[in-house]
Amino acid sequence: MENNKTVKSITSQSDDFASWYTDVVREAKLCEYSSVKGCLNYLPNGYAIWENIKNSLDKKFKETGVENVYLPVLIPESLLQKEKDHIEGFAPEVATVTHGGGAELEEKLCIRPTSETLFCDIWQHMVKSYRDLPLIWNQWNSVLRWEKTTRPFLRSREFLWQEGHTLHATPEEAEERTKLMLDIYYDFVTNDLAIPLIKGQKTESEKFAGAEATYTIESMMKDGKALQSGTSHFFGSGFPDSFDIKYLDKENKLHSAYETSWGLSTRIIGALIMVHGDDNGLVLPPKIAPTQIMIIPIAQHKDGVLDKANSILKELKDNNFRVKIDDSDKTPGFKFAQQEVLGIPLRLEIGPRDIENNQVVITRRDNGEKITISIDNLTESINEILEKMQSEMFEKAKNLLDNNIRPATTIEEMIDIDKNHKGFIKAMWCGDEKCEEEIKNRTNGYGSRCIPFNQEHISDKCVCCGKDAKDMVIWAISY
């Protein structure tokens, strides 16, 4: 079969990956552009994925002592300007409120592009003694950055995320929290989203505005490009010092405090689409899918079919599966295509002959495999299938990642890989920003994604300038 596509309005990945992506977002009704340029409407199908991400992550956060808060959508201009590097990083992207209630404001207000300054502003008057520390706060909110070019989920002016902000008595404790949160992201994205990752540290030029160190998890899309999937920042005491946040220790001595922040956004839905999706649409890992099983009755007008289908629906619901039934008057073929576009992990067919044989037919969304199972141990069988599907989806993505990271020892090799392959390059680097720039310019835009924690020794020399190498860096074209 040359063309596996059941939905004709989706471009093939091999024809045009970018068009494929926007087609899937549209056909699965995940989100759409609103009438405000660059801002999205998150529609029910897309928002339900975000809700599952949020619920799962929030639970993991709280197990480590995170408390949720909500701070204002507006930041006074003077407050945003308090930390020098920070405002330099964000000033060009800020939207400004100049009028409120019909009158011009005395001071302009910015719509938050991120909330470090607001957190510090609270802590300034709240933190006095070592007893007030640590503060381990997080908020689920939206932020606004005036981007010039936008793409659904990947880059939009307003996007949804969580931003965690913590304050500690010692740099060691803050560093530990920074890494703990990166580990939580890593576990969540690999286990729940079945997306394999590279964990590492950003180079100086790629780190967050105002941070001392930025840690990241990087994933590979099916087109070989990288997507930064979550970041965790160690601020040292720079930010708190700018806000004059100091605490008294047990001996009544005054000390600086140490800050972290960490965030994961709706971009991750873009990764979910581009790591697992295929020419028929979305493919969602069972653990995160809003609907895990779609029951489709066959010959549903025949005696007993709908009754049986509904009793299966009830049984599966009672056993905590996220399950729906499509008993509309559309044809089974149309329903199959719909379930595929939406990426629902399992299709469950039940018709008169199945009832006779006391069975149902399950079809896996990820590989099309058909499995006939007995009605007598539905829960157990489906649990097994879902678990197997989850781990096989991860393995498949892991193979893609592993098979598409290629070593290079010279810039010519990099240019060659760039021409002939998709994927990442691993190569040594001297630590000089100029080499990062040169590599970007001489290739088709390969940037440093991270200095991975798992280092390999590829050569002694920087891939670009030939001087002594410091670290192995992962290079890639990125979203």
Residue 264 CB coordination number (10 Å) = 23
372 binds its own copies (CB under 8 A): no
Q: For CA atoms 312, 315, 319, 321, give the dihedral sign.
A: positive
Stretch touching its own copies by CB under 8 A, among 41-49, 312-320, 375-383, 451-459: 41-49
Minimum CB separation from its own copies for residue 221, in Å? 24
149 binds its own copies (CB under 8 A): no
Say how many CA atoms lie within 13 Å of 471 toward its Cβ.
20
41 binds its own copies (CB under 8 A): yes
Stretch touching its own copies by CB under 8 A, among 3-11, 15-23, 153-161, 454-462: 153-161
Pick the closest to residue 165 from 215, 79, 111, 232 (CA basis): 232
465 binds its own copies (CB under 8 A): no
Q: How far apart are CA 66 and CA 80, in angstroms?
A: 25
Minimum CB separation from its own copies for residue 108, in Å? 8
8 A C-beta contact, residue 96 and residue 108: yes
Pick the closest to residue 74 from 138, 140, 163, 143 (CA basis): 143
Q: What are the angstrom distances between the C-alpha of 465 and each of 433, 435, 436, 460?
A: 11, 7, 10, 12
Applying CB under 8 A, which of residues 7, 95, 400, 415 lies at the interface with its own copies? 95
204 binds its own copies (CB under 8 A): no
Site for its own copies in 9-38 (CB under 8 A): 32, 34-36
Residue 98 or residue 454: which is nearer to its own copies going by CB?
98
Minimum CB separation from its own copies for residue 47, in Å? 5
Minimum CB separation from its own copies for residue 126, in Å? 9
- The enclosing H or E element of 142 equals strand 135-144
* Count of chain residues binding its own copies (CB under 8 A): 50
Close Cβ partners of 107 (under 8 Å, ≥ 6 residues apart)? 76, 77, 78
Residue 100 CB coordination number (10 Å) = 10
272 binds its own copies (CB under 8 A): no
Applying CB under 8 A, which of residues 14, 98, 252, 358 lies at the interface with its own copies? 98
Applying CB under 8 A, which of residues 6, 56, 73, 391 lies at the interface with its own copies? 73
Applying CB under 8 A, which of residues 101, 304, 318, 376 lies at the interface with its own copies? 101
8 A C-beta contact, residue 270 and residue 479: yes
Pick the closest to residue 464 from 92, 203, 290, 235 (CA basis): 203
Minimum CB separation from its own copies for residue 353, in Å? 30
Residues that bind its own copies in the complex, under the rule CB under 8 A: 32, 34-36, 39-44, 47-48, 50-51, 67-76, 79, 91-102, 109, 111, 118, 121-122, 137, 142, 144, 146, 148, 157-158, 160
